[in-house]
Amino acid sequence: MIKQLSLLVFSLGLFNLAIAGQHDPRAPGVTRSGKTIFHNYCSVCHGDKGDGQSRARNGLNPPPRNYTTPESAIELTRERMIKSVTQGRPGTAMIPWVTELSGEEIAGVVDYIRSTFMHLGNQAAATTRAKPSAALLASTGGVLYMQACALCHGELGTRQTTGNMNPPPRDFGSPAVIAELNRKRMIASITNGRPNTAMRAYGERFSPAEIEAMVDFIDAAYMHPAATAAKK
């Protein structure tokens, strides 16, 4: 059944391509925009708005990914999305597009999805995030964060590594994460850990005051840096 659905999706993608007048998708020197690629190849399943509300959705199991949810913004790293578009997703109707799209085009459509539907911006924006101030880094929370948290969440709060972590570590600068997390929840997560994730409990290693200091550092350095700078 999955094979039949995959063939259907591929056929619909080629049909869209023909309509668009693109007869040679891998023509040398031709790089199409992420928006064009999404329309020609991806919208048939994921919908024009990236919300999975397409005509094909009722025939797909599991259903197409809805990129507009906070869960997608949290779970999907850029690297994972590039791999999925390149190699496909086993057990789903998501086929590999490596023979139809160049590496540059795959990266382009992923960045288009992330900025347009997930509101995450591109990878360059994340990697150029400002480093916390010397004063924040020297604070109790800053010192403890670098000791206990930076290995997974990164020195810039952007996820240092994802590896085989599922779900991946939080990107504290992501708008979706900022909207979801509050101080109380973050304190509870550091104290007790998060079930079914790589987030371990630190309640026996750090005092309540130290955990609160780490949360305050994360908020000031990564989640609301502009507000922190304005107070100076």
Average pLDDT of span 135-145:
97
Q: Measured over all CA atoms, what is the biggest interatomic distance in the chain, rounded to whole angstroms?
A: 64
Q: Are residues 82 and 9 in the same domain?
A: yes
Q: Are residues 82 and 55 in the same domain?
A: yes
Q: Are residues 62 and 139 in the same domain?
A: no
Domain's final residue, options 75, 109, 125: 125
Average pLDDT of span 213-219:
97
Which domain does 161 fall in, by range?
129-230
- pLDDT exceeds 60 at position 15: no
Q: Are residues 164 and 179 in the same domain?
A: yes
Q: Domain total for the chain?
A: 2
Q: Are residues 151 and 178 in the same domain?
A: yes
The residue among 141, 129, 123, 40 whose CA lies nearest residue 82 is 123
- pLDDT exceeds 90 at position 202: yes
CA angle at 55 for the pair 53 and 56, rounded to the nearest 5°: 95
For residues 212 and 9, which has the higher predicted lDDT (pLDDT)?
212
Q: What is the pLDDT of residues 106-138, one digit of tens each?
A: 999 998 998 888 876 555 455 557 889 999 999
Q: What is the pLDDT of residues 174-194, one digit of tens each?
A: 888 888 899 999 999 999 999
Q: Are residues 121 and 135 in the same domain?
A: no
Domain's final residue, options 94, 125, 156: 125
Q: Give the C-alpha separation, 7 to 59, whole Å.
A: 12
Q: Are residues 213 and 168 in the same domain?
A: yes
Q: Are residues 148 and 51 in the same domain?
A: no
